[in-house]
Amino acid sequence: MTVRNGQGRRNDGGALPGSSALPLSEAYDTALLDLDGVVYAGGEAVPYAVGALGTARAGGMRLAYVTNNALRTPDAVAAHLTELGVPAEPGDVITSAQAVARLIADDVPPGSRVLVVGGEGLRVALRERGLVPVDSADDRPVAVVQGFGGPETPWSRFAEAGYAVARGLPWYASNTDLTIPGARGIGPGNGAAVEVVRIATGGRFEPKVAGKPLPPMHRETVLRTGALRPLVVGDRLDTDIEGAFNGGVDSLLVLTGVTDVPQLLGAVPAHRPTYVAADLRGLLVPQPEVVADGDGGFACGQWRASVRGGELVLDGPDGGAADVMDAVRALCGAAWAAADAGGSGDASGGGTGASGGRSSGGSKGVPDAGKALARLGL
Active site members: 34, 36
Please tell me the distance from the alpha carbon of residue 108 to that of residue 114, in angstroms, as a whole number: 10
Please tell me the distance from the alpha carbon of residue 114 to that of residue 374, in angstroms, as a whole number: 51
Pick the closest to residue 288 from 333, 256, 257, 248 (CA basis): 333
Please tell me the distance from the alpha carbon of residue 37 to that of residue 27, in angstroms, as a whole number: 24
Q: Is there a contact between 22 and 162 (Cβ–Cβ < 8 Å)?
A: no
Q: DSSP assignment, residue 280?
A: G
Please tell me the distance from the alpha carbon of residue 298 to that of residue 291, in angstroms, as a whole number: 5
Please tell me the distance from the alpha carbon of residue 138 to that of residue 160, in angstroms, as a whole number: 9
Pick the closest to residue 193 from 143, 148, 160 (CA basis): 148
| Helices (H) then strands (E): counts for the chain | 12, 21
Please tell me the distance from the alpha carbon of residue 53 to that of residue 86, in angstroms, as a whole number: 7
Please tell me the distance from the alpha carbon of residue 342 to that of residue 12, in angstroms, as a whole number: 19
What helix, strand, coil percent values describe the chain, rounded to 5? 35, 20, 45
Pick the closest to residue 298 from 313, 284, 311 (CA basis): 313
Q: Is there a contact between 310 and 335 (Cβ–Cβ < 8 Å)?
A: no
Write the DSSP string, 195-246. Answer: HHHHHHTTT----EE-STTSHHHHHHHHHHH--SSEEEEES-IIIIIHHHHH
Please tell me the distance from the alpha carbon of residue 334 to that of residue 9, in angstroms, as a whole number: 21
Phi, psi of 129 (to 5 degrees): -95, 10
Question: Distance from first CA to last CA of the chain, Å, rounded?
Answer: 27
